[in-house]
Structure 1
């Protein structure tokens, strides 16, 4: 569900600072044991390579989410390596940490501004002549650590759910970590809920498209729909980078960004998105109001979103390796089941039952899913699809869907609805849990298409937008020339 808000992800993220897709035929995917996994590995490899080209400091964000709160950290925008760290409240001259003493010497005993934002900006200006371009942000480890203690044992299971839909486990879990710190119940100021921070009305629409009851506070339920939605967006773009950004910034903002990147000469989707993203933050910084019709509400937070997630994949891998893992079993209940009955039948404490089912207060409603450490047939049929190999029919449809390769202009056109409806039918025909999830998510995407088509069609053809875009190009070029002259 696109969260169409310019609301910060959990990190502050206030700094403003091509790879060809491997086709299934070229890679000989029919000859490998798991063609879906092979295809997705190739896609992720292309994304990481593009990020290393355009945003080489993206791994910096791993420091932000793995260190406890209370620091401001600086990293290299060229490698992501940690350069310096300072207490949010404290003496930055005497209490700072430096990766190289020459950086400390550069700062010396110069007075620091009292206001934190001014202090951060000043230190970046002082560091960059010796350390190169830097990124800085407050640490956010405390956003993650309490939930890792409670839910960290489930990461492998949630990762398998993402993988069933063609999303690399550490990528999907990294998004969940950035959005919610792995909590199913956390709510944003905009009332977005849980794992992937979807808005309540999006869940309500999705619930109407499914044959069972969705209890959105349960992460294991959320993981399937988060994974399926990201899979659809990645198929649309042929890349996880704009797919992740669309989740955060919304389809119209990302559509504008890709169109702008195309006008800038981007050769493939990654080039187009990353060039368009850089253009958006550049012109917003130069004249925040002037170019709103060109960039929408796409800003620094949207710009950083995908790199934060890709930059924290290793953080998630480390968390998984450090935690003992346990299985999650799933039962689709055919009647209301009370919490007291679950406790009595399983011998588990209420706290432990709620660890598996954060949505459970008094009862599991008929048609919903109960999650437990063991399968108990008396509660309902086993629907833990991630414990079984994917049906061959499901993998066949999923791979076909990933190999669509339709241009974005087709995805945005009304006629493309019939293509997606056909895939809904094919996923439904697999008669599998994962097929039913993909059917519902595609139904949601289809509902979004008419508005998106109208907005992007107008954007592509409006001559006033074209003129404003050209004005932004010129303004940015003038600013770059001015900065070159200042450096001489």
Structure 2
């Protein structure tokens, strides 16, 4: 029950997730003259990057307070598959590693030698789940609460070896959209292990694991061809989406969680957190998440209407991303970095032509372009370690300083002073449309990405029932009674 501070008045909260399909094109959204923004100008004169860094550090302070175990999640992707690791819930330090199969009393590796005798006299069962619980019970009196999880080192290791030299370039892309690179790259580690060709059972694809239908929708909005299996193509759109959501929430924490749990689930979580007395959206989200987790521990069936499909992984998602910022820093320090240059193909370019003109091997070209099978389609990007004029204009925006026009509009956008509720009011479309036009008017690559992503968000806000669903959740007397019943039961 830590951090629960009582009930406060309700604040309307509604969130954005990737739409299944929105039948609107970028051109259609630009038919009208751009309206004048109706929002107040930013109160500060910080640059977009400075503002994002301040937001990130405030988020990190909140994560340290609410989720002190977050460093534990770096170890999941550092240790090869086939182990169960235990860590301290108080500070995330690694305590012990055990083989999934084997004699834990004999084969366990204790990071803290003082704990070696913790299992003396404990008769461990054969069933893995029960054995994990036994070790947790044995460690708790010695170190306090513990966390444990299977390792997934193979999810990251081979792709970090192949693509880790691109992290600096991808980080520069995230930074161009006012996303701290460690956050964007850590999310990519959690989602895809940096594998450009990653594909989930639900057909989520590539670096950030967006569903195929969402990439198809973005392709209809974008002025050029998006090949979603290229990490360097995905990164700008992932960054733009994250910075828009972080602007809406005033925090990267619920913005990250929305990517996994969906806007309605995060919306319910934030609303519950406000009822609990959270002072701002990040605190409301973190308090509401604890509330949902604890209620699930009492009865999923009885309290399901308070959290629906917001489950254990939803609870952990943002924490896992913050924990893996440590892996981003480790990889950057240990891996020499390569440059990436982008050329916009004026025509279909066969792979054989690329090998002939560059002298690079097919494997090296595909390392830069995981989407490339036989040819680069016209209006798509070809990525190489140096610019080759024959393959089209240089669109490597991260290799040059941003324009003054783009810098100005991005800085104003990320400091936009509007509540989440305001974002879902019909009149706020004018403000978003105004920024969309202004980004496109910069006539820059990054401005086109922001304009495309704002078109995507505008279409979603226009057609989604999310606001109505969350308004009902916020005002329902039945939900309020269920909330109070759950709060009372947790307090016993």
Q: Corresponding residue for 2:219?
A: 207
Asked if 1:370 is matched to 2:382, the reply is yes
Asked if 1:81 is matched to 2:93, the reply is yes
Q: Distance in 1 between matches of 2:436 and 2:18?
A: 23
Asked if 1:437 is matched to 2:449, the reply is yes
Q: Distance in 1 between matches of 2:156 and 2:167?
A: 13
Q: Corresponding residue for 2:34?
A: none
TM-score of the aligned structures, taking structure 1 as reference length: 0.90
Q: Quote how far apart the aligned CAs of 1:4 are.
A: 9.4
Q: Quote how far apart the aligned CAs of 1:102 are.
A: 4.5
Whether the 8 Å CA contact 2:269–2:285 is kept in 1: the answer is yes
Q: How does 1:275-290 map to 2 (within 5 A)?
A: 275-290=287-302
- Match 2:471 to one of 441, 449, 457: 457
Alignment partner of 1:46: what SS? helix
Q: Distance in 2 between matches of 1:328 and 1:129?
A: 51
Q: How does 1:210-249 map to 2 (within 5 A)?
A: 210-249=222-261
Q: Distance in 2 between matches of 1:134 and 1:40?
A: 32
- Match 1:305 to one of 293, 308, 317: 317
Q: How does 1:75-474 map to 2 (within 5 A)?
A: 75-449=87-461, 450-474=464-488
Whether the 8 Å CA contact 1:65–1:139 is kept in 2: the answer is yes
Q: Quote how far apart the aligned CAs of 1:476 are.
A: 1.4
Whether the 8 Å CA contact 2:19–2:460 is kept in 1: the answer is no
Whether the 8 Å CA contact 1:4–1:250 is kept in 2: the answer is no
Q: Corresponding residue for 1:18?
A: none
Q: Distance in 2 between matches of 1:101 and 1:331?
A: 54
Q: Distance in 1 between matches of 2:94 and 2:112?
A: 10
After superposition, the Cα gap between the structure-2 partners of 1:25 and 1:422, relative to the gap in structure 1 and judged at 3 Å, is closer
Alignment partner of 1:291: what SS? helix
Whether the 8 Å CA contact 2:261–2:310 is kept in 1: the answer is yes
Q: Corresponding residue for 1:482?
A: none
Q: Quote how far apart the aligned CAs of 1:323 are.
A: 1.1
Q: Corresponding residue for 1:47?
A: 59
Q: Distance in 2 between matches of 1:4 and 1:91?
A: 48
Q: Corresponding residue for 1:476?
A: 490
Q: Distance in 1 between matches of 2:369 and 2:113?
A: 50
Q: Quote how far apart the aligned CAs of 1:413 are.
A: 2.4
Alignment partner of 1:123: what SS? helix
Q: Corresponding residue for 2:27?
A: none
Whether the 8 Å CA contact 1:74–1:137 is kept in 2: the answer is yes
TM-score of the aligned structures, taking structure 2 as reference length: 0.90
Q: Quote how far apart the aligned CAs of 1:25 are.
A: 4.7
Alignment partner of 2:292: what SS? helix
Q: Quote how far apart the aligned CAs of 1:100 are.
A: 3.7
Q: Quote how far apart the aligned CAs of 1:307 are.
A: 0.8
Whether the 8 Å CA contact 2:42–2:415 is kept in 1: the answer is yes
Q: Distance in 1 between matches of 2:101 and 2:133?
A: 16
Q: Quote how far apart the aligned CAs of 1:164 are.
A: 0.4
Q: Distance in 2 between matches of 1:375 and 1:337?
A: 15
After superposition, the Cα gap between the structure-2 partners of 1:291 and 1:415, relative to the gap in structure 1 and judged at 3 Å, is farther
Q: Distance in 1 between matches of 2:338 and 2:428?
A: 42
Alignment partner of 1:382: what SS? coil
Q: Quote how far apart the aligned CAs of 1:403 are.
A: 0.9
After superposition, the Cα gap between the structure-2 partners of 1:447 and 1:4, relative to the gap in structure 1 and judged at 3 Å, is closer
Alignment partner of 1:381: what SS? coil
Q: Which moved more, 1:399-408 or 1:379-388?
A: 399-408
1:140-169, Cα deviation, whole Å (9 max, x unpaired): 111101001111111111110000001111
Q: Distance in 1 between matches of 2:250 and 2:433?
A: 20
Size of the alignment, in residue pairs?
A: 455
Q: Distance in 1 between matches of 2:399 and 2:111?
A: 45
Q: Quote how far apart the aligned CAs of 1:415 are.
A: 2.4
Whether the 8 Å CA contact 2:42–2:417 is kept in 1: the answer is no
Q: Quote how far apart the aligned CAs of 1:3 are.
A: 6.8
Alignment partner of 2:229: what SS? coil
Q: Distance in 2 between matches of 1:245 and 1:3?
A: 13
Q: Quote how far apart the aligned CAs of 1:269 are.
A: 1.4
Q: Distance in 2 between matches of 1:453 and 1:414?
A: 11
After superposition, the Cα gap between the structure-2 partners of 1:413 and 1:113, relative to the gap in structure 1 and judged at 3 Å, is farther
Q: Distance in 1 between matches of 2:126 and 2:18?
A: 36
Q: Distance in 2 between matches of 1:102 and 1:3?
A: 48
Alignment partner of 1:331: what SS? strand
Asked if 1:72 is matched to 2:90, the reply is no
Q: Distance in 2 between matches of 1:256 and 1:291?
A: 13
Whether the 8 Å CA contact 1:2–1:249 is kept in 2: the answer is no
Q: Distance in 2 between matches of 1:4 and 1:428?
A: 22
